[in-house]
Structure 1
């Protein structure tokens, strides 16, 4: 497919009476196209929220993103593109892959993603007829032994090392070599490497440690390019004084991920007390999270909304003996009950995902419109005011430390990173339920909310 009206990468600016133009002209025009069978979906909002739209390799980009893509194409070498959650790393990846494909049609390009995003990535490139691109997990690319000219790795902070308590199904690529990891094995394919990386999103002991990452980057002469502006969060509130950057900074400071004591507007975390439609809010139960999503969908039916949680329940519903049973639940609250995500691969698109609770492995790297987050009992606050992980409440079997490798600080960092990821999935709204009441009171105190937890 040839795109004759593609952009040069500039962001589309807001304009006067934008909402009126959308309501009075664009939406009716789209419905007219639908009535004549020129488009497949009647609701334009549903198109805008689709994966194909969000990650279209022909989408309009900011100047920062476009400059990064142009440099990588112009000067082929190893790059690491770093950025916090919401800065658009995956958007840059899909656009970069498409531009490389067009610029170098005879080059072989591999796109490496996590398991939960393989089918979505394949769907994107197939739908837009982007050629000479193959999509893999890191494990499957390494197993294939295929040589590629470019290897683009999304969520590169989740690449793994050999770890004896890791997932044994995919550990065979390391041959029990303690010094082996997926970065080194991918490097043997002799590609031009482009890694998309956020160290605050490492969540397991088997993820490559930052010091080993830095050694590899130095030895292989990677150049760092930074994404600095947050794009995911959309705070649509009247008379607001805060920005999406205040939210992202506040989450990092609250979770003690960033120790710089960066300034942010605390009102972003307080406004729900007087405005029920505020971007952020705290609720009193798990079922209220689902009620919140129901209300959002009544108002905006085309949105993608899910409840997520820390990994503090056994995945009993996934056990072979229970998979076909309708009376086995992982989360129970009074008369309410829910299952964990039925699958980690492409969970967002699964039929029942809206009435399930997603773990970190089902949601890392995805965008939601409205998000409900259960901050569970694998995290708490000690007597010194320091956030700590609670290992006995953490049920991810592949996320356990070896007995001779356990680090209280390291484990706490993994748990904090998990909640950083969960809390930054929502584009249009987030509601949080705290199972640990000490953690909830700490949040109130930290954010200047004058409330006592009952």
Structure 2
């Protein structure tokens, strides 16, 4: 395939710079639609606006007299610059798609200001159009050219793709199924508001099915419609995102700050209930809804209701609940299977059930996916298939596995790689050095070098390569490669040829509490295994502490089913 002919021109963003635009002789910048960037840098941090136009000269004149606060900062600065991008395939659809892609990638650029660093207000992802199949190639060539002009604003892709903000970006181009789901959610919200009724919209999907990206996009679009005038049903409505997970909460807040939205509309459920008790709000979107408390107590006062979901339904006109029963991890999140069935059936009957089935995270073959599902849910160990797409490997020691993960992490070609373990070692949030110890292997785990209060997610923190993470640091996130230590709470019976769970070996007191019986404990430990083993995009490395399980896995790697 021939190289995309791409041209970039840098000029000062000013009246004088505007005159030089008029002198541009390059046809790709004067006779074709263009994408342009207006940016400034202060204390090594950028603020940037990306736009597209059929007439860059006229559009720049309009920007120079903008009165909005963020534009005033760009317009009055003596150091503001402008980059103009053109290519041989430019048409309206191409430039709109490129604009959206740049906004998406800018969320992961560390040199862009964390507070209102991206001045755009609306993305423009495009559907099918002529040359759509070449848009990634066009974008990569454009980024490469722009990198030569402003390398810190357009850094290496690998830096961006490791960012949790990029992975959860509301500007991501949704898959066909995600796009359909988004339209259904917005439509159901509009119907509920117009009928002046209350409603629960249920979104289900397994780990890696794209739930967080979908919800990020829905929330962003609701924010825009609330402030616009095109949609009379959504205009003026206030929407909230709630997530009962510190790491994911931080990511949502950072995205909102960076694109200039109100981060006060992103909260933990209890904080929301305390603030809005007795009021009626418009829309509440609950990500990781399986982490909601299902009983009251010290962390969830009785006055709010018997469950957090019940309390939220009293306060909000519309609740959008994202739920994966296979990621319930503790007794306080327990939901009886019959209750889950009722929840799903009621949503289905009211045409408010949205199911996500596609796998967007793990880039593996069908055979490898089947092997993993059999291991996690059927508790069987089959022959490990060969897979050119996905690196599934069993190690004979945790030390060797850590060396491999550390090597992947140090290599920019592989990127974000970390160690995880089942919750089978003691840990307390007291700042002491609690370690995962296995023979000669010892690493601190959860937050020792890192800190839960940091704005940066555990997986992205460079210091976390020296730690072992758990479900509490990684749930909701992904890694390029993951090394999982399967602790002694997961065992294998060679006579029955079956994996089973040993609650007495788990240190996760919330998972093994006896309130709901042994079946619920087993399910919690099974779900923990599921969360840990579904984090790796390109590779999963395993070591098992139980001798029988470790031997069975090594045999499966040799090509023998167990």
Normalised to the residue count of structure 2, the TM-score between the two structures is 0.66
Pick aligned residue for 2:491 from 380, 383, 386:
380
2:445 is equivalent to residue 331 of structure 1 = no
**Aligned with residue 400 of structure 1, among 512, 526, 530:** 512
The answer to whether the 8 Å contact 2:281/2:316 transfers is yes
Q: Offset at 1:371?
A: 0.7
Alpha-carbon distance in structure 1 between the residues aligned to 2:269 and 2:286? 8
Alignment RMSD: 3.4
Partners of 2:480 and 2:516 in 1: CA distance: 39
**Which of 298, 302, 306 is residue 174 of structure 1 equivalent to?**
302
Gaps of 5+ in 2: 1-118, 193-199, 228-235
Following the alignment from structure 2 to structure 1, what is the Cα–Cα distance between the partners of residues 264 and 306?
27
The 5 A counterparts of 1:286-325 are: 286-300=398-412, 303-315=415-427, 318=428, 320=430, 323=431
CA shift in 2, pair 1:200/1:10, >3 Å:
farther
Asked whether the equivalents of residues 307 and 358 of structure 1 are also in contact (C-alpha less than 8 Å), the reply is yes
248, 259, 268: which is aligned to 2:369?
248
For 2:219, the equivalent position in structure 1 comes to: 97
C-alpha distance in 2 between matches for 1:2 and 1:355:
38
- With over 3 angstroms needed to count, the CA separation of the structure-2 counterparts of 1:437 and 1:115, relative to structure 1, is same
Q: Which residue in the other structure is 1:142 paired with?
A: 273
Is 1:116 equivalent to 2:247 in the alignment? Answer: yes
Which of the pair is proportionally richer in strand? Answer: 2
How big is the shift at 1:11?
A: 12
Pairs within 5 Å for 1:86-235: 86-105=208-227, 106-113=236-243, 114-131=245-262, 134-145=265-276, 147-162=280-295, 168=298, 170-171=299-300, 173-174=301-302, 180-209=306-335, 210-216=337-343, 221=350, 223-235=352-364
Deviations 1:333-363 (A, max 9, x none): 4444211111556322445211111111111
Pair 1:94–1:270, CA change in 2 (3 A): same
Contact map agreement 1:46 1:302 (CA 8 A) in 2: no
2:316 and 2:542 mapped to 1: Cα distance?
A: 45
Moved more, 88-97 or 154-163: 154-163
Structure number with the bigger relative contact order (C-alpha 8 A, sep ≥ 6) is: 1
CA distance in structure 1 between the aligned counterparts of 2:555 and 2:395, rounded to whole angstroms? 16
TM-score scaled by structure 1?
0.80
Cα distance, 1:284–1:136 mapped onto 2, change above 3 Å: same
Q: 1:5 to 1:184 in 2, by over 3 A?
A: closer
Question: CA-to-partner distance for each residue in 1:114-172, whole Å, 9 max, x for gaps?
Answer: 222111110012212235871111222122225431111111112111277xxx4x14x
Q: What secondary structure, in the 3-state scheme, does the structure 2 residue paired with 1:162 have?
A: coil
Q: Distance in 1 between matches of 2:163 and 2:131?
A: 22
In structure 1, the partner of 2:175 is 62
* Cα displacement string for residues 345-391 of structure 1 (whole angstroms, at most 9, x for unaligned residues): 63224452111111111111111111111111111134434432211
**Matching of residue 412 in structure 1 with residue 522 in structure 2:** yes
Partners of 2:477 and 2:535 within 8 A in 1: yes
Instruction: Please tell me whether the aligned partners of residues 121 and 224 of structure 2 are also in contact (alpha carbons under 8 angstroms).
Output: no
Bigger Rg over Cα = 2
Alpha-carbon separation, structure 1, partners of 2:498 and 2:549: 10
Would you say the 8 A contact 2:435–2:444 is kept in 1? Answer: yes
Q: Distance in 1 between matches of 2:281 and 2:130?
A: 35
Aligned mates of 2:131, 2:424 — CA distance in 1: 43
Match of 1:238 in 2: none
Q: CA deviation at 1:224?
A: 1.1
Cα distance change on mapping 1:5 and 1:119 into 2, 3 Å: closer
Alpha-carbon separation, structure 1, partners of 2:165 and 2:202: 25
The one of 130, 144, 156 aligned to 1:28: 144
- CA distance in 2: counterparts of 1:11 and 1:389, whole angstroms: 52
Name the SS of the counterpart of 1:82 in structure 2: strand
Residue-pair matches, total: 414
Q: Which residue of 1 aligns with 2:155?
A: 42
- How far apart, CA to CA, are the structure 1 residues paired with 2:561 and 2:188? 55
1:254 CA displacement: 1.3
User: Please, which moves more after superposition, 352-361 or 129-138?
Assistant: 129-138
